Amino acid sequence: MTDTSAATLDDCTNLTIYKGNSVLVSDRRNVDLQPGANLIEFPNILADVVRQSINVSIRDQSFNAVVTEHRFLYDLADNTMILKRYLGEMIEVRTQDGQVYAGQYVRVTKGLRNTAFSNAASDDLLLCNTDGQLILIAANNISEIHLPENRELIQQPLLQIMIESQEAGTCPIEVTYIASGIDWAVDYNVIVSENDQLVTFNGWATLTNKTDVSFNDVYVKLVQESASPLTQPQPTNPPQPPAANRSLRPSPFSRQNPPKPLRPPQPPRPPLTRPGSRLGRLNQRPPVDDGGRFGDPSHPSNDPPRRPLPSRFPTRIPPPAPAPLPPLKRVSQYRYPIERPVDLENDETRHIKLVDLAPPTAQLAYIYDASPPVSKYPRNPNTDRNQGDTQVTEVNAFITFNANEQTATMVNLPAGELRIYQQDHRGASTLVGNRKIKHLSGDDRLEISLGALPDVDGKRTQKDFRRLENSLLEETYRIRLRNQRQDRPVRVTVLERLFRWGNWRIVNTSHSYTKQDATSITFDVTIPPREKMAILYTVRYFLTGMD
């Protein structure tokens, strides 16, 4: 074995941080190898590592080397690990009442702890003094422990890797493992001007490092999923064999009918004849030539083969084939990569900007949406007169994003806390509300709801509903909007969904409208302060075809 060497840092380390205080570390380093066995020391490993998750691989497949084993070392992981280094040596223990016990440190067995000392903790001490007497000291009664001398303890987590190499040179390796101690959260800030115009919309990711390890120039990816990598899988019930066929006879090997012991095969018995008897003389006669009658199946005098006699026991049913393994369940998750490298020091909380949008990419809109939703038109026209009344009065504020190629890559926002600030005439901001938002991805319609306005409301009323002919249906709606603000107007977008049938036409309206798609129209109106406004329109549905 060659001398122990240390791994040098590479220029790329990746941290995949999961929501829930867990992280997947992908650490790439270069090691100098010599022909033969090489013991590599890999420092700066997180202390709270899941040891079964450690994986070491050779990044350069052309390099003729293979990883044979690795082990994780850390003496200061807990008090038990330190005491194990002094197993069988003399130590001194001081209890809470000031009494000192000296003796040889002996490990406490599991059977002793669970029987005679059922209340003892897992780190109770068992000492053997010079007289051979055993002394058990409870953990909650220990005040101090004096160890003999300062040994060379492994004070930092260390990963030792054994690599068998066929050549000398610098080999790139990658170590991946799952640990705990790093968490993240997202906060959004919305600043609205005095005249209800969006000033800015930004989001910040908060990274918290409690791992006792500092990271420099690492690439971070935030993951929000339904299950953390540290979550223990729930045990599943083993597959049950299929139910037996009721038409079959009960097997003699069942519990109700235990099987009888089978006799071992016996050698053939000799014939029970005396050498001088008549039967014995018959057995000693030479065989008679029968002309091929016996033993020739084609001989006409031979009988057809008889059916085999039924066995004493029915045919044993073979055991059922093992059930196939269930497919791997894919965990639903959202990933948010941070494109630039970041520094994350130990015991630090760092804020990293995720998004920063301003008009015209992001805008503030007040929308009154009181019509019934339309996901898909029904097979037959909706002729229920009462379905048009929804009793919705709130006018909600939304941040809308103009969907384009640049916005779709920028607006991929994780769930988090949203705070809304509004500026006064001096430009000072005041917190006017906060709420939680869900994951937002870049699709055709991007919007974030800020909640209902306290001083603007609406009312949607059906004024007329009639059948003109068998093929015509016509109805009229009035949308009343009220602005209770004392000093400034408000611009409201009224969204109307034409939910009854796909063939429709607006035949009368008090305000101009914009057709958004095949199912909806919008009215954009400005309401002066302390005033009301009404929108009246009539829609005609053609149940069989357009006239």
Instruction: List pLDDT tens digits, range 287-302.
Output: 555 555 555 555 555 5
Please give the mean pLDDT across all residues of the chain. 77
258 has a pLDDT exceeding 90? no
Q: E strands within 34-95?
A: 36-42, 55-58, 65-73, 90-95
In this prediction the pTM is 0.63
In this prediction, residue 325 carries a pLDDT of 62
Edge-to-edge strands, sheet with 198-209:
348-357, 198-209, 182-192, 416-423, 429-437
Euclidean distance between CA atoms 130 and 101, whole angstroms: 11
Euclidean distance between CA atoms 171 and 272, whole angstroms: 84
87 has a pLDDT exceeding 50? yes
368 has a pLDDT exceeding 80? yes
In which element (H, E) is residue 356 found? strand 348-357
What's the N-to-C CA distance of the chain in angstroms? 92
For the chain, percent of residues with pLDDT exceeding 90: 26
In this prediction, residue 531 carries a pLDDT of 93
Per the model's pLDDT, the better-predicted residue between 495 and 427 turns out to be 495
In this prediction, residue 145 carries a pLDDT of 80
Helices (H), 104-187: 110-114
SS (H, E, C) 474-502: EEEEEEEEEECCCCCCEEEEEEEECCCCC
Beta carbons of 302 and 293 less than 8 angstroms apart: yes
In this prediction, residue 2 carries a pLDDT of 53
What's the rounded mean pLDDT across residues 276-282? 56
For the domain covering 353-401+447-542, report its CATH number: 2.60.40
546 has a pLDDT exceeding 90? no
Per the model's pLDDT, the better-predicted residue between 119 and 375 turns out to be 375
In this prediction, residue 94 carries a pLDDT of 84
Tokens of 417: 């806390």
Answer whether CATH 3.10.129.10 is correct for domain 84-146.
no
For the chain, percent of residues with pLDDT exceeding 70: 69
Instruction: List pLDDT tens digits, range 433-466.
Output: 888 888 877 654 567 888 888 889 999 999 999 8
In this prediction, residue 116 carries a pLDDT of 38
CB-facing half-sphere around the CA of 366: CA atoms within 13 A: 25
In this prediction, residue 34 carries a pLDDT of 92
In this prediction, residue 136 carries a pLDDT of 82
Instruction: List pLDDT tens digits, range 312-354.
Output: 555 566 777 777 766 655 555 788 888 889 999 988 999 999 8
In this prediction, residue 139 carries a pLDDT of 76
Per the model's pLDDT, the better-predicted residue between 90 and 205 turns out to be 205
The CA-CA-CA angle for residues 266, 268, 274, to 5°, reads 135
Euclidean distance between CA atoms 239 and 523, whole angstroms: 60
Range scoring the smallest mean pLDDT among 121-125, 353-357, 413-417: 121-125
In this prediction, residue 388 carries a pLDDT of 77
Beta carbons of 233 and 326 less than 8 angstroms apart: no
Instruction: Report the DSSP pairing between strands 142-146 and 90-95.
Output: antiparallel
In this prediction, residue 99 carries a pLDDT of 84
